[in-house]
């Protein structure tokens, strides 16, 4: 009887904690996935080149590379709950910068705001992912990540719809079409662009206030304030024999797998509207919803993961299956063609293969993370930081993609973008290898 009474509050707290974590992951998604429409939006309103527009995602995601390890030290010093509060407040400052950036239509100020949003998210990711990983058995970590991940992907589904509905007014859609048609030039173009971009001011001001308030709520919530020292001791496999984190091949190879997964995911999401644009579709039309369709499939993929993992499907097998599917879809993007009309969008079928990647993408993150972090012992917190650093794949991979597009000047914009998707193939091939063999490597010398 006494044992039951002591366990019930813990179970209740765990459930509440998972709800709070799902809400945090919703915020991750709401702030992150809106970049998929910010790229073409800023490309139009700030008159950016392809390479310049890729800096929109670069400025945001490079923060993961810069801040992941400092975030782990911050969490060690102030604790997880206070650290998450500081992360949310940093995001609040970043969102607030969108107001003067829009008022003066200043590209560099937007990039600074995006960087600060990324810094805040790096802190939150460093704190939230260990929570999810250690709250239960490692074998079902992918299932728990799928549960909280539904919040992230639900935000991905609605982020673009909210942005398009709140920021892009009906009058703006007409203005966009006129700007794309080249009706405005000189001073009249500047005036039109100034009017268009001011639509982000009020929504991001509201977001800044909401993030600040939510930081206070998190600080005083029922979410357990984990002791970093305890977190780092949850798995203690051969802890005494390894003195440096680079001595864990499964982690280091997993970081690269995570880099490729996150990078390819952002390539597919952030370029899909532009890719549709090369086929005559406009940001003011149905094409603006393409990233939401991708995220809806990812959202459904999470539910598949929740239902199947680990009872019917091991998380390692889920990773292998999903990576293989995306490898096949990548090949189909390059090798197939044909015009189809679907959901009001008339485009090459390769666009829809790009969208279909959303479904298997759902279980890649959830599959890589627990395999990479398993058995790190005292390095668990630092290992989590390394995996968060890998999220900078969303900064580098789109830039590489756009550089390939800009280099291919001898063909049409459509062919240039389509051909550049070849970078997806080696990325997914590596993840397939990691799921087959890489995660099992325990010693560098034995693997050579």
Assigned token pair, 363: 């279980």
CA 27/CA 16 separation, integer angstroms:
17
CA distance readout (Å), 94 to 102, 120, 217, 424: 13, 9, 19, 31
pLDDT of residue 11: 63
- Which residues, at least 6 apart from 269, have a Cβ–Cβ distance to it below 8 Å? 33, 36, 291, 294, 295
Highest mean pLDDT among 168-177, 373-382, 409-418 belongs to: 409-418
Determine which helix (DSSP H) or strand (DSSP E) holds 72, and give its type and residue range: helix 50-78
Distance separating alpha carbons of residues 408 and 410, to the nearest angstrom: 6
- Pick the range with the lowest mean pLDDT from 208-217, 281-290, 341-350: 281-290
What structural domains and CATH numbers belong to the chain?
2-221+245-443 (1.20.1250.20)
- The whole-model pTM stands at 0.80
For 420-438, write each residue's pLDDT tens digit.
Answer: 999 999 999 999 999 999 9
Higher-confidence residue: 62 or 224? 62
Position 234 pLDDT exceeds 60? no
The verdict on whether omega for the bond into residue 98 sits within 30 degrees of 0, i.e. cis, is no
**Helix/strand/coil for 346:** strand
Q: Which residues of 1-37 are buried (b: 16+ CB within 10 A; e: fewer)?
A: eeeeeeeeeeeeeeeebbbbbbbbbbbbbbbbbbbbb
In the structure encoding, which two tokens stand for residue 302, read together? 């999470």
**CA 188 to chain CA centroid, nearest Å:** 37
Asked if residue 259 has pLDDT above 90, the reply is yes
pLDDT digits (tens, 9 = 90+) for 325-337: 999 999 999 999 9
More confident residue, 314 or 357: 357
Do the beta carbons of residue 299 and residue 154 sit within 8 Å? yes
d(CA 10, CA 347) in angstroms, rounded, equals 52
Name the residue with tokens 């459509």. 414
* C-alpha–C-alpha distance, residues 214 and 59, integer Å: 24
Q: Which DSSP category does 112 fall into?
A: H
Q: Please compute the mean of the pLDDT values over residues 273-301 and round it to a whole number.
A: 89
What is the structure's pLDDT at 419?
A: 95
Chain segment 16-60, per-residue pLDDT in tens: 777 888 888 888 888 887 877 888 899 899 999 877 888 888 999
In 181-277, where does DSSP find H-type helix? 186-197, 201-219, 228-231, 249-277
d(CA 163, CA 434): 37
Give residue 111's Cα distance to chain centre: 17
Q: Alpha-carbon distance 137 to 373, whole Å?
A: 13
Whole-number Å distance between alpha carbons of 359 and 41:
25
Residues counted in the chain: 448
Output phi, psi for 290, to 5 deg. Answer: -60, -50
pLDDT grade, residue 317 (50/70/90)? very high
What is the pLDDT confidence band of residue 136, given thresholds at 50, 70 and 90? low
Looking at residue 232, what is its pLDDT?
Answer: 54
Find, among 332, 354, 336, the residue nearest to 345 by Cα. Answer: 354
Q: How confident is the model over 388-407, as a mean pLDDT?
A: 92
Q: What is the pLDDT of residues 351-369, one digit of tens each?
A: 999 999 999 998 898 889 8
Q: Which residues contact 383 (CB under 8 A, 6 or more apart)?
A: 245, 248, 251, 372, 373, 376
C-alpha to C-alpha distance for 258 and 365, rounded to whole angstroms: 7
Can you give the pLDDT at residue 235? 47
């Amino acid at each position: 009887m006494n044992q039951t009474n002591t366990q019930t509050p813990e179970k209740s707290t765990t459930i509440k904690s998972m709800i709070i974590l799902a809400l945090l992951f919703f915020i991750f998604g709401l702030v992150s996935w809106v970049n998929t429409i910010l790229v073409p939006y800023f490309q139009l309103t700030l008159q950016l080149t392809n390479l310049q527009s890729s800096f929109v995602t670069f400025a945001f995601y490079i923060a993961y590379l810069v801040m992941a390890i400092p975030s782990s030290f911050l969490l060690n010093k102030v604790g997880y709950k206070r650290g998450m509060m500081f992360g949310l407040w940093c995001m609040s400052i970043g969102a607030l910068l969108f107001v003067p950036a829009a008022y003066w239509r200043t590209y560099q100020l937007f990039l600074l705001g995006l960087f600060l949003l990324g810094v805040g998210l790096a802190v939150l990711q460093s704190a939230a992912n260990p929570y999810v990983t250690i709250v239960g058995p490692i074998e079902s970590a992918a299932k728990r990540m799928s549960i909280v991940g539904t919040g992230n992907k639900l935000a991905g589904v609605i982020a673009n719809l909210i942005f398009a509905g709140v920021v892009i007014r009906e009058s703006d859609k007409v203005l966009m079409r006129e700007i794309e048609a080249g009706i405005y030039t000189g001073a009249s173009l500047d005036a039109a662009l100034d009017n268009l971009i001011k639509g982000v001011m009020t929504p991001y001001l509201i977001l800044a206030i909401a993030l600040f308030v939510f930081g206070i709520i998190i600080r005083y919530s029922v979410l357990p304030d984990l002791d970093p020292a305890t977190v780092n001791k949850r798995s203690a496999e051969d802890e005494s024999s390894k003195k440096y984190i680079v001595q864990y091949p499964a982690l280091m190879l997993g970081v690269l797998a995570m880099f490729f997964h996150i990078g390819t995911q952002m390539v597919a999401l952030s370029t899909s509207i532009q890719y549709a644009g090369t086929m005559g579709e406009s940001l003011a039309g149905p094409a603006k919803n393409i990233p939401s369709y991708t995220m809806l499939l990812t959202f459904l993929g999470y539910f598949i993961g929740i239902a199947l993992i680990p009872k019917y499907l091991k998380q390692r097998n889920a990773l292998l299956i999903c990576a293989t599917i995306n490898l096949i879809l990548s090949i189909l993007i390059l090798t197939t063609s044909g015009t189809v009309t679907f959901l009001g969008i008339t485009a090459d079928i390769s666009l829809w293969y790009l969208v279909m990647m959303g479904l298997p993408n759902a279980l890649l993150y959830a599959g890589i993370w627990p395999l990479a972090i398993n058995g790190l012992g005292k390095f668990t917190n630092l290992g989590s930081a390394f995996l968060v650093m890998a999220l900078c794949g969303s900064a580098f991979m789109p830039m590489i993609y756009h550089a390939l597009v800009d280099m291919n000047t001898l063909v049409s914009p459509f062919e240039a973008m389509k051909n550049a998707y070849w970078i997806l193939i080696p990325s997914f091939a590596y993840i397939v290898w990691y799921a087959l063999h890489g995660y099992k490597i325990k010693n560098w010398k034995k693997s050579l």
